[in-house]
């Protein structure tokens, strides 16, 4: 046998050993993992983070996780929109690597690529996904799944339709409660000899913000407070913030819970309810009120419904916590609560997300790991959604492939200083013009400054001093005193963009935005 043959055999053996690594789950006492992910939940609607509604709409069960573990203050989405953020969470990579850039006509998530649930499953974990998926393809890496397939995989709040391990099933009830029911049912039926990883993913508080019946009339006779930027005039951001379709004028009749005439058939009813999506379609709730009064009434309807759906999410997290306690699983189970991105709840006069502004990109993230993460820990490191996968794997004692772009922040959670941790993050949003006409842009954020470049059919740069202007009202890009800073930030931005493997030209990036890749909400064949 020649040298080359011996080398190849050795290489094959090493590869096989590495890929088939055996885990003694009982001996290693590997932790269970419950990763709860909601949709569009801003930190400004979680009382542990403070904010305008902390006393009006507290979240005691999410707060409990934070108080008994850690709360992360600077966790950011790298592409602030549902599907792409979820793809980045699963793969630990940016959109331009995993190929899932946008929701609308964004194609089908490539489920043949590496994801952390696949790695956990391979290492001996019993894995399950329940709730919202929203990636167009079938989930891979799960022993069991049951995900929303109705309404373009957004799901319905009431009587939702699920894909239950390949079978279409309509369930009767409220989606947030049902999803928890199915998750607990799986926990009861799982293999108790294996550690488990459960992805529990709620539709709420996504649009159209339909509360459970018991919470419909919360704050009925109250006027909830308005964010201090509610009447933002976009005076230094006319071409960007001032040119969108996400103000209080763009709610539809369904959002406002208006009742269609009884005479309409189903198709006509759908069209009637969707009025408000288009330009110059402003929903008037009360004809006796003026324009400004109707604007405020629309906000009041929205914010009350949004917060009421979160009430149900928090209730159901309480159910999960109680289950772990009653089942003697609490001490060996990591529980995480996060959302796929932030959300505007009236700040700058908006709803939705997409922008690289703080309310949109800042993700809630609280974690409890008994005996490992000290209670009431606070972490302020710059962490992104591509870091979730390697962190979960490290906590499970599983190696992360070098192809993953994110870095584990497990040691950061244990209050160990990491001098090599990132000091800035790179962001990139591609979807345009539907929905909401937010211009594609990319940028960099460090501890104090944020630099953004809008590039689709405008060429606009924005610079914000987050220390002196935390609400991002004043674009100081033209300030003569910041020339050196701007040059430094641009250089770092280009270096970051390159280091993450995004070498696309502007034409290539624009093409991503305007191309119909199929998938959700596309007329192309899947």
Instruction: Please report the pLDDT score of residue 26 as a whole number.
Output: 56
Looking at the structure, do residues 77 and 168 belong to the same domain, yes or no?
A: yes
Domain that holds residue 140: 31-212+307-424
Q: Which of 436, 384, 524, 377 is nearest to 66 (CA)?
A: 377
Looking at the structure, do residues 116 and 104 belong to the same domain, yes or no?
A: yes
403 domain-assigned: yes
Query: What's the CATH code of the domain at 509?
Result: 3.30.1120.10
- Ordered alpha helix ranges (H), 101-174: 116-122
Alpha carbons 453 and 463: distance in angstroms, whole number: 9
Query: What's the CATH code of the domain at 46?
Result: 3.40.720.10
Alpha carbons 52 and 54: distance in angstroms, whole number: 6
Looking at the structure, do residues 419 and 468 belong to the same domain, yes or no?
A: no
- What's the mean per-residue pLDDT of the chain? 94
26 domain-assigned: no
237 domain-assigned: no
Please tell me the pTM assigned to this model.
Answer: 0.94
- Last-in-domain residue among 395, 424, 453: 424
266 domain-assigned: no
236 domain-assigned: no
Instruction: Please report the pLDDT score of residue 18 as a whole number.
Output: 40
Alpha carbons 31 and 196: distance in angstroms, whole number: 8
Query: What are the residues whose beta carbons fall under 8 Å from the beta carbon of 274, sequence distance 6 or more?
Result: 252, 253, 254
Looking at the structure, do residues 498 and 392 belong to the same domain, yes or no?
A: no
Instruction: Please report the pLDDT score of residue 19 as a whole number.
Output: 43
Looking at the structure, do residues 45 and 156 belong to the same domain, yes or no?
A: yes
pLDDT along the chain (526 residues), means of 10: 40 40 67 98 98 98 98 98 98 98 96 98 98 97 97 94 97 98 98 96 98 97 97 97 96 97 95 92 96 97 98 98 98 98 98 98 98 97 98 98 98 87 98 96 98 98 98 97 97 98 98 96 74
Query: Tell me: the pLDDT tens digits for 323-332?
Result: 999 999 999 9
Query: Tell me: the pLDDT tens digits for 177-194?
Result: 999 999 999 999 999 999
Looking at the structure, do residues 438 and 322 belong to the same domain, yes or no?
A: no
Looking at the structure, do residues 407 and 432 belong to the same domain, yes or no?
A: no
Conformation bin of residue 256: beta by default, left when phi > 0, alpha when psi is -120 to 50:
alpha
Instruction: Please report the pLDDT score of residue 29 as a whole number.
Output: 87
Query: What are the residues whose beta carbons fall under 8 Å from the beta carbon of 327, sequence distance 6 or more?
Result: 187
Instruction: Please report the pLDDT score of residue 157 as a whole number.
Output: 98
Looking at the structure, do residues 381 and 474 belong to the same domain, yes or no?
A: no
Q: What is the CA radius of gyration of the chain?
A: 23
- Last-in-domain residue among 424, 448, 468: 424
Conformation bin of residue 29: beta by default, left when phi > 0, alpha when psi is -120 to 50:
left
Looking at the structure, do residues 134 and 50 belong to the same domain, yes or no?
A: yes
Q: How many domains does the chain have?
A: 2
Is residue 355 within 8 A of residue 80, CB to CB? The reply is: yes
Q: Please give the full DSSP string across 242-294, using - where no structure is assigned.
A: TS-S-BGGG--TTTTTPPPPTT--HHHHHHHHHTTSSTT-PPPS-TTS-HHHH
Question: To which H or E segment does residue 436 belong?
Answer: none
10 domain-assigned: no
Instruction: Please report the pLDDT score of residue 484 as a whole number.
Output: 97
58 domain-assigned: yes
Looking at the structure, do residues 132 and 195 belong to the same domain, yes or no?
A: yes
Looking at the structure, do residues 506 and 452 belong to the same domain, yes or no?
A: yes
243 domain-assigned: no
Looking at the structure, do residues 410 and 502 belong to the same domain, yes or no?
A: no
Instruction: Please report the pLDDT score of residue 1 as a whole number.
Output: 46
- Last-in-domain residue among 424, 455, 486: 424
- Measured between alpha carbons, how far is residue 324 from residues 8, 32, 130, 310, 372 in Å? 48, 11, 17, 21, 17
Query: What are the residues whose beta carbons fall under 8 Å from the beta carbon of 112, sequence distance 6 or more?
Result: 140
């Amino acid at each position: 046998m020649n040298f080359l043959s011996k080398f190849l055999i050795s290489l094959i053996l090493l590869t096989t050993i590495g890929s088939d690594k055996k885990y003694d789950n009982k001996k290693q006492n590997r932790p269970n993992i419950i990763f709860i992910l909601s949709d569009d939940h801003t930190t400004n609607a979680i009382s542990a983070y403070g904010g305008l509604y902390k006393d009006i709409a507290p979240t005691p069960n999410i707060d409990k996780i934070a108080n008994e573990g850690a709360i992360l203050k600077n966790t950011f989405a790298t592409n602030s929109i549902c599907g792409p953020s979820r793809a980045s969470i699963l793969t630990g990579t940016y959109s331009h690597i995993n190929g899932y850039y946008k929701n609308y006509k964004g194609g089908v998530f490539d489920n043949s690529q590496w994801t952390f649930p696949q790695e956990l499953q391979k290492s001996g974990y019993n894995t399950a996904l329940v709730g919202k998926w929203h990636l167009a393809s079938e989930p891979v890496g799960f022993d069991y799944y049951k995900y929303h397939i109705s309404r373009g995989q957004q799901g319905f709040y009431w009587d939702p339709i699920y894909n239950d391990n390949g079978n279409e099933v309509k369930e009767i009830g409220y989606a947030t409660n049902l999803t928890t029911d199915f998750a607990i049912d799986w926990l009861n039926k799982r293999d108790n000899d294996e550690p488990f990883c459960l992805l529990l993913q709620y539709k709420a508080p996504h649009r159209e913000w339909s509360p459970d019946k018991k919470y419909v009339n919360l704050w009925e006779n109250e006027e909830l407070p308005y964010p201090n930027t509610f009447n933002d005039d976009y005076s230094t951001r006319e071409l960007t913030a001032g040119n969108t379709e996400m103000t209080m004028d763009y709610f539809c009749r369904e959002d406002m819970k208006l009742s269609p005439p009884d005479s309409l058939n189903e198709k006509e009813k759908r069209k009637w309810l969707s009025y408000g999506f288009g330009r110059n379609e402003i929903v008037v709730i009360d004809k006796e009120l003026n324009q400004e009064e109707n604007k405020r009434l629309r906000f009041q309807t929205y914010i009350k419904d949004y917060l009421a759906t979160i009430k149900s999410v928090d209730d159901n997290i309480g159910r999960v916590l109680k289950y772990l306690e009653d089942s003697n699983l609490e001490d060996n189970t990591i529980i995480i609560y996060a959302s796929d991105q932030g959300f505007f709840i009236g700040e700058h006069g908006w709803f939705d997300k997409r922008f690289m502004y703080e309310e949109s990109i800042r993700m809630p993230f609280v974690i409890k790991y008994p005996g490992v993460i000290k209670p009431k820990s606070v972490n302020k490191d710059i962490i992104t959604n591509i870091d979730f996968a390697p962190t979960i794997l490290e906590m499970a004692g599983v190696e992360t492939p070098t192809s993953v772009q994110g870095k584990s922040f497990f040691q950061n959670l244990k209050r160990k200083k990491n001098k090599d941790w990132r000091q800035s993050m790179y962001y990139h949003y591609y979807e345009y013009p539907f929905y909401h006409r937010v211009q594609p842009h990319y940028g960099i954020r460090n501890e104090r400054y944020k630099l953004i470049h809008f590039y689709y059919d405008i060429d606009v740069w924005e610079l914000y001093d987050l220390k002196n202007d935390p609400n991002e009202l004043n674009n100081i890009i033209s300030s003569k005193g910041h020339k050196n800073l701007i040059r430094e930030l641009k250089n770092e931005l280009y270096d970051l963009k390159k280091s993450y493997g995004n070498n696309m030209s502007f034409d290539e990036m624009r093409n991503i935005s305007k191309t119909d890749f199929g998938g959700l909400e596309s007329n192309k064949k899947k």
